[in-house]
Amino acid sequence: MSARTLAANDVMSSPVFAVSPSDTVAPVNPLPYAVALMQSEQVNNLIVVEHNALVGILKRDDIKKEVAK
């Protein structure tokens, strides 16, 4: 069996969707912005950007864990 080399662009999602640190993730009416964006774009992760700099990654599983507390 030969090893296959994969580049990031072979498996990445595109386009990338981003939120700011102040965008809502907790339950509010209507759906929180980040969750609504994940649902509408069918993605499980969003990058978090502040002042044009990457400051984090928001994952659907992280939101579920926090809301379940």
Enter the pTM of the model: 0.74
**Residue 46 is part of a domain; what is its CATH number?**
3.10.580.10
pLDDT at position 35 over 60: yes
Number of structural domains found in the chain: 1
Tell me, yes or no, whether 18 lies in a domain.
yes
What DSSP element (H or E) covers 18?
strand 18-19
Helices of type H across 13-68: 33-41, 60-68
Which of 20, 13, 14 lies closest to 34, judged by CA? 20
Domain ranges, residue 61: 13-68
pLDDT digits (tens, 9 = 90+) for 2-12: 668 899 888 88
Tell me, yes or no, whether 6 lies in a domain.
no
Which pair of tokens denotes residue 51? Answer: 């002042």
Tell me, yes or no, whether 7 lies in a domain.
no
Tell me, yes or no, whether 1 lies in a domain.
no
Tell me, yes or no, whether 48 lies in a domain.
yes
Neighbours of 56 (CB within 10 A): 13
Tell me, yes or no, whether 2 lies in a domain.
no
Q: How far apart are CA 15 and CA 69, in angstroms?
A: 32
Which pair of tokens denotes residue 24? Answer: 């809502």
Tell me, yes or no, whether 30 lies in a domain.
yes
